């Protein structure tokens, strides 16, 4: 489904009227760059454990080797360097270049917003592009991670943990993210099922505070009624119909 002409105009108006825009993005933001979202991966690769069981701090602690094997597969670590920003990412970078104060609150760990050129990006769920030692905190690059099946800390030998917020871990940037949303003139949500907590409470709080909220997502979410505008369409094609 595509956005109607009316929806496109309404979204353009909301954007034109806003000086400060907070954009909450999810995995749907990057599917057009070739990175599958969780909805398409869940259930496909394991019958015994859910994705949330595997990408969890408990599993990492219990079975680090199995964790790394699954983590590599789920996030296609080998391909990470090949992915490129798409028209959706580029539109958000263009908004910043056009003089808007844009803060991206992303659940994505692929680094594509930064590569598209946005400077204010809160990676709420961390990044795939590095890993750290859980014991001595020594940081390691993705290059190093890619050279080892179960990457050991260079300094102390402990198994590294990806710099990704795993299920069961706190989201360290969550307060800053709420602040950014509550300081904005517009909250735009793109490509998220809004199923992951506490991030999915950001639009709830923003709507309660009277901040206009718009959503671009293929499928309905259980928070759709909060939004002033819900566009059920592709992010790329919708953004190509807008100007910064
Ligand atoms: P999700 O997979 O739960 O939901 C993605 C949503 O995007 C779906 O509702 C889908 O209908 C929609 N969508 C997919 N492609 C779209 C497109 N081109 N245009 C419009 N809508 C589109 O994603 P989530 O809400 O971000 O939650 C999943 C969790 O998984 C997050 O915590 C995130 O950290 C992690 N994750 C990240 C990546 C990444 O970094 N690219 C990829 C997979 C999962
Ligand atoms: Zn160490």
Instruction: Report how far ligand 2's centroid is from the alpha carbon of 134 (Å).
Output: 7
In this predicted structure, what is the pLDDT of residue 49?
Answer: 76
In this predicted structure, what is the pLDDT of residue 47?
Answer: 57
Residue with tokens 């014991």: 135
Ligand 1 within 6 A of CB of 32: yes
Burial per residue of 143-180, b for 16 or more beta-carbon CB atoms within 10 angstroms, e otherwise:
eebeeeeebebeeeeebbbbbbbbbeeebebbeebbeb
Q: Look at the pTM and tell me if it is higher than 0.75.
A: yes
Ligand 1 within 6 A of CB of 80: no
In this predicted structure, what is the pLDDT of residue 38?
Answer: 79
Ligand number nearest CA of 190 is 1
Ligand 1 within 6 A of CB of 35: yes
Ligand 1 within 6 A of CB of 195: yes
**140 classed as catalytic:** no
| φ, ψ (nearest 5 deg) of residue 30 | -110, 0
Q: From CA 230, how far away is CA 3, in angstroms rounded? A: 9
Q: Domains for the chain: give ranges and CATH numbers.
A: 5-35+83-125+168-240 (3.40.50.1220), 39-80+133-164 (3.30.1600.10)
Instruction: Report how far ligand 1's centroid is from the alpha carbon of 179 (Å).
Output: 23
At 45, list the tokens. Answer: 């690769």
In this predicted structure, what is the pLDDT of residue 219?
Answer: 94
DSSP symbols for 94-117: HHHHTT-EEEEEE---S-HHHHHT
pLDDT by residue, tens only, the chain of 244 residues: 899 999 999 999 999 999 999 999 999 999 999 988 876 665 445 556 788 889 999 999 999 999 999 999 888 887 888 899 999 999 999 999 999 999 999 999 999 999 999 999 999 999 999 999 999 999 999 999 999 999 999 999 999 999 999 999 999 999 999 999 999 999 999 999 999 889 999 999 999 999 999 999 999 999 999 999 999 999 999 999 999 9
Burial per residue of 30-50, b for 16 or more beta-carbon CB atoms within 10 angstroms, e otherwise:
bbbbebebbeebeeeeeeeee
In this predicted structure, what is the pLDDT of residue 236?
Answer: 97
In this predicted structure, what is the pLDDT of residue 80?
Answer: 83
Catalytic residue among 125, 140, 148, 243: 125
């Amino acid at each position: 489904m595509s956005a109607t002409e009316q929806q496109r105009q309404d979204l353009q108006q909301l954007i034109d009227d806003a000086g400060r825009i907070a954009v909450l993005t999810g995995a749907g933001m990057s599917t057009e760059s070739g990175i599958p979202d969780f909805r398409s991966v869940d259930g496909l690769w394991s019958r015994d454990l859910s994705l949330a069981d595997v990408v969890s701090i408990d599993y990492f602690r219990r079975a680090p080797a199995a964790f790394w094997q699954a983590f590599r597969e789920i996030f296609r670590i080998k391909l990470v360097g090949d992915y490129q920003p798409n028209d959706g990412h580029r539109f958000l970078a263009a908004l910043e270049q056009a003089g808007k104060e844009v803060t991206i609150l992303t659940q994505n760990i692929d680094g594509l917003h930064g590569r598209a050129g946005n400077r204010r990006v809160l990676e709420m769920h961390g990044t795939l592009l590095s890993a750290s030692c859980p014991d001595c905190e020594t940081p390691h690059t993705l290059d190093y991670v890619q050279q080892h099946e179960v990457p050991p800390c260079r300094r102390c030998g402990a198994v590294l943990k990806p710099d990704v917020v795993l299920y069961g871990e706190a989201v360290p940037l969550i307060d800053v993210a709420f602040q950014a949303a509550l300081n904005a003139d517009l909250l735009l949500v793109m490509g998220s099922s809004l199923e992951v907590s506490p991030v999915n409470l950001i639009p709830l709080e923003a709507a309660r505070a009277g901040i206009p909220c718009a959503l671009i997502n293929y499928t309905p979410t259980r928070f759709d009624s909060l939004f002033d505008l819900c566009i059920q369409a592709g992010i790329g094609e919708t953004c190509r119909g807008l100007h910064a």
